[in-house]
Structure 1
């Protein structure tokens, strides 16, 4: 899922330092193959092609800022466990802000979560749910998801994507926040029953 590159000139302000965005660069998220989620990107890289046609790749690190790299070319080669996806300069700037520890909130933009029960294909009752997830969209436009676990509460997950892409069977039934609270009680009861 490529995000179109937006050719922008200017400075994005994000806190202590500023990230200069130059229209001469194309930006890329380096992600694990088969998991092209921007919010799980391990690295952001950028490429500039000089007047002789030679590509110059850089990767952002919190220790050194933008430094020369071969990771982008390696991700594009198809031989690695990673792949590169074009992103906008604004997304690259957000990544730098996150890596630099600047305040970037990931709470729901509208303050609300959407809840789903994960059920076997032949089930429809909350009592039969395998798990419950909550999803939301951040003010930055990122989609997030958590799965409820009795021991750890809400934990980051990819269940919705896994069900959609048939890596996991079953279906997701929309439920209310009250249903999600009731599911917590169901899980606690299941555990107490052994």
Structure 2
């Protein structure tokens, strides 16, 4: 049985929106303001995480974000590993056949589909971005680990990771460490006994 691992870049105040609008407005420009040393350390963590994964799970918008930013053709180790991994994309529409290889659409009942994926994949299934999907997975107790790469910004607005839930979701901190000079990696697992 696999584990569903949520891996998010997040600000101190919970914003996951990383892209600024086409005109530079919006609340996502914080990622681009990250110092080079921190970005290098962040990438090292990302590569290690990808090397340990057996599959990716993402929403359609996140899948499109990776495709639009060249991950389908980049030559670095991280991009090559992500290309190799099976990618399961929650989408009610067909995926672009010319998009990212090893991508298949996960249609129908998302909760049932992810539960089946979790049962079928023998290892870690990493979820990048995909805020709406993550909120659904949290609501239905399908998250086995929450990895938050916390960036030192308070942006005040933008898409946030967490939304309303029907009941409190107790978590237990299992790891924390500094990454680079300004980032913090926080790892939580559900505390199902709480």
Larger Rg: 1
Greater length-normalized contact order (CA 8 Å, ≥ 6 residues apart) = 2
Structure (1 or 2) with the greater strand fraction: 1
Task: Answer whether TM exceeds 0.5 for this pair.
Answer: no
Structure (1 or 2) with the greater helix fraction: 2
In the superposition, the TM-score normalised over structure 2's length comes to 0.24
